[in-house]
Structure 1
Amino acid sequence: MKPFAYERATTVDDALALAADGGVFLAGGTNLVDHLRLGIREADRLVDISRLPLDEVTERDDGGLVIGAGVRNSDLAAHPLVRTRYPFVTQALVAGASGQLRNMATTGGNLLQRTRCVYFQDLTTPCNKREPGAGCSALEGFGRYNALLGTSEHCVAVHPSDLCVPLAALDAEVVVAGPAGERRIPFGELHRLPGDRPDLDTTLEPGELVLAVELPPLAMAVRSRYRKVRERASYAFALVSVAAALDVEDGVVRDVRLALGGVSHRPHRARAAEDALRGRPATEAELRAAIEAELEAARPGPHNAFKVPLVRNTVVDTLARLAEGSAA
């Protein structure tokens, strides 16, 4: 590991100033420290932001929530307002990591997780995300975890976060501060597709710090569920995951929110499926037709074609259970 300086920020302004000349923010460190050890990332200075006053969950006047970027995953998962109003957020957090990791990992850090593609983490192999222009080993190599949607010839990696999938379904907003001041980013605009710059995961500007995530009030999120399909029952990254909320009246879908994980370079909001379902009967045939509309854009490789029926079946089963009134 390359030697680095360590500074502890006492205020947001202090953190921004310390990071102005190339410093890297350190919160829980569950992703960053691994990458420093592996040599995937280097830093001249780590700016510790773990003591900043960003560790509270507060309720807005409209019933939404403001989640500080420093809120630990364990605390967020256990928060009574999160558990009752947005159960799929709690379910995603619990599915995402062991208790020890949840005690360290933060909300802001979850947003900024980097891919767990095996080639990204292997310095002996070419990877455009790690070294732009080097090539993408995953195109012809081990591709079981590769993306289905929004891929490019430069990268087929997937976004690893569980928490980000329900946040995408909720149309959350991300509050950030940087050298140019404070701004708000719609969640769907935070993460990038790979295009020809897969090394750029997000639309954050250099030196910007995530301050909070805001969840809007959404009554139907009370009936929501997060489903994660993985290769082993213990903590593993998703082959496919689904975050869904459903509002059904007299057997007809009034509204639906649907997002997918494990299928794209960013958390994938399934808007085509949502549009196909609204106003339609909540039958298995309609649910299946809706997700088929979403999967028309899928471009599987030779080793991950199994993900297409896996997405289809997981979405249909999740929505059918919600339509029956069961979030268990």
Structure 2
Amino acid sequence: MSEEVKKFKVTIDGQTTEVDPGTSILEAARQIGGKSVPPAMCYYKPLEGSGGRCRTCLVEVSKGSEADPRPMPKLVASCRTTVMDGMEIKNSTSERVLDAREGVTEFLLINHPLDCPVCDQAGECHLQDLGYVHGLEETRTEFTRRTFEPEDIGPYIKLNMNRCILCARCVLAANQLTEEREHGILFRGDHAEISTYLNKALENDFIGNVIDVCPVGALTDRTSRFASRVWFTKPMNAHCECDKCSGKAVLWMKGEEIIRVTARKDQFDEVQDWICNDCRFHKKDLKLWTVEGPRHIDRHSVISLNHYEKPENMISMLNNPDAKELSPKDEEKSRKGIDENFLLM
């Protein structure tokens, strides 16, 4: 009979949980949930070797462990630092962490263009969310931004290198999902860029998944480019018969039209089941899918504007303690009142 592994007690922002030895601080924070979870632009649990590049997940370790309670002198990357028994960590409650996160966000936005109004990723972009919370009103850099021309790296994928933050998620996904990787990071330092070898096209059966893992709008779907803003579409869980993948996907629909198809993601926006190119790019006919129902979208973003289906018995956390959530009937009355006032103007 195997011995039971002793779990480590970890406290993050005053909340304690028990995790297995070897668990990273970030995964321990995700187990707690809420504001204790640091943002992550490069870490992606399904991809082995991800993390440690963007530095947005920095946290303060105020107590190393029960055996050695001394605090760590510097902020650490939570995705690359494993927990110790009795460790105490500060994330959203640390001024040092918030100040460092603002600095990291400023660095990520130094070369990133402010083209959210024309970017297909707007509304579900992690850098957009990060910039809204921690970004500055204007840049302080005096240097010229790096600029690149948009590039088609295959029949289905558009690369906008201007928006890339070099998180390397797409490279890791191609390494682990395809037999032969055909793109990577070229050059070094401020000359580094994602590109293919001599403009080679990316045509592997699962290469479309690099679009889903990209946290910004650097890699987008050419088949749905500029078709619709994401908050005007309705995501529906659906499945189909496929001999290459699980066939489980999300259909982003506008009326009866399928605008785009993506893989299903969990609450941390990480892919649950990879899908093939046939399901993603070619099956845009509703007859090819069995629709299961609306998919709940829970993001602090404009993507949640249309109030998609909520889980039963879900308690809404309101930022204003004096506010109250409108019932559907009250919301309809309010909307009619706004329309009538608009007509009288």
Shared fold (TM-score, shorter chain, > 0.5): no
- Work out which of the two has the higher radius of gyration on C-alpha atoms and give 1 or 2: 2
RCO higher in 1 or 2 (8 Å CA, sep ≥ 6)? 1
Q: Structure 1-normalised TM-score?
A: 0.28
